[in-house]
Chain A
Amino acid sequence: MDGVLGIEEYLVVASILFCIGLLGVILRRNVLLILMCLELMLNAVNLALVAFARYSGNMDGVILTFFAITVAAAEVAIGLAILVALYRRRKSIFLQDLNLLGR
């Protein structure tokens, strides 16, 4: 409102959140938690999009975020269904048990 809060603050926070999610995707061994960290990365990008939309005075970024939320909901539903099917077949959701090469 007083113009002190600039766009770069939002972009810094979005970048850090994105990298936290990336670190989670790389480090974790649980497929469920990897899906959660993917959602975290997606949310960081959403924040950057909304910040760009707000500071450029344009509605397109907000609409794109709207579609990103829709697609993310569909993606989570499918991803978790695949996860449950995988667990029924392999009895595990850890990446080291799902390794088909080099066993």
Chain B
Amino acid sequence: MNEEILFYLFSTLMLFGGSAVVLSRNPVNAALYMILALVSLAVLFLTLDAFFLAALQVLVYAGAVMVLFLFVIMMLDVDLRERSRPNIMAAALGLVTTGAVVAILLTWVGEGSTIRPSVGSVPTPGNPLAFVTGSKAFGYALLTKYMLPIQVAGFLLLVAMVGAILLGRRTKLKSSEGKDGS
């Protein structure tokens, strides 16, 4: 019963936050509504018994990613409000396309199972990759079945860091550095 209340409350909040991101004129407001949507999504993860993922969602998305967005909004320091209204034709086409996608997705969602499998809190030796609430299953899965993907993910983060530093430095800096070096 409590799960249902949480689900309906926070899915409403999440959809409200998402719509406000699309509709708000000021990017700072949009970023704050985005944080609302992401934290509500973390609560929806909680109702699905994915506790570690909910913590990760708050830490990585609502924490790091949105701070990065707000930092860039404030660093650019220009009037970021949209000057022109969107093209009527493009808006109508976008609404029709989105409505069609909603209709297709909602007809696809048929009668699913309402019975949740019962979950334990730690992985069992018999079926170590079954859904459990504890974060121990993450460690087990990441170090056995997903050994290669986690190495690739680590390398991806390194590449992203180097790429962001390279893209973010000023081009003037490079020429002055060349003068200093020579």
Please tell me the number of chain B residues within 8 Å of chain A, measured between CB atoms: 87
- The answer to whether B50 and A54 touch across the interface, beta carbons within 8 angstroms, is yes
Separation in Å of the A33 CB from the closest CB of chain B? 6
Tell whether, in the assembled complex, residue B34 and residue A40 are in contact, meaning their CB atoms are under 8 Å apart.
yes
Pick the contact of A12: B22, B30, B109 (CB < 8 A): B109
- The answer to whether A5 touches B7 (Cβ under 8 A) is yes
CB proximity to B under 8 Å, residues A12-70: 12-13, 15-24, 26-30, 32-33, 35-37, 39-40, 43, 46-47, 50-51, 53-60, 62-63, 65-67, 69-70
The reply to whether the CB of B163 lies closer than 8 angstroms to some CB of chain A is yes
Q: Secondary structure at chain A's binding surface: helix, strand, loop or mixed? A: helix
Find chain B residues with CB under 8 A from A98 CB.
Answer: none
A-B contact pairs, 24 of them (CB 8 A): A2-B1, A5-B47, A11-B112, A12-B106, A20-B19, A20-B22, A22-B101, A23-B94, A30-B82, A32-B73, A36-B69, A43-B61, A47-B45, A53-B131, A58-B130, A58-B131, A60-B141, A69-B61, A70-B156, A77-B160, A78-B167, A84-B72, A85-B167, A93-B80
Residues in A lying within 8 Å of B, measured CB to CB = 1-13, 15-24, 26-30, 32-33, 35-37, 39-40, 43, 46-47, 50-51, 53-60, 62-63, 65-67, 69-78, 80-85, 87-88, 93-94, 96
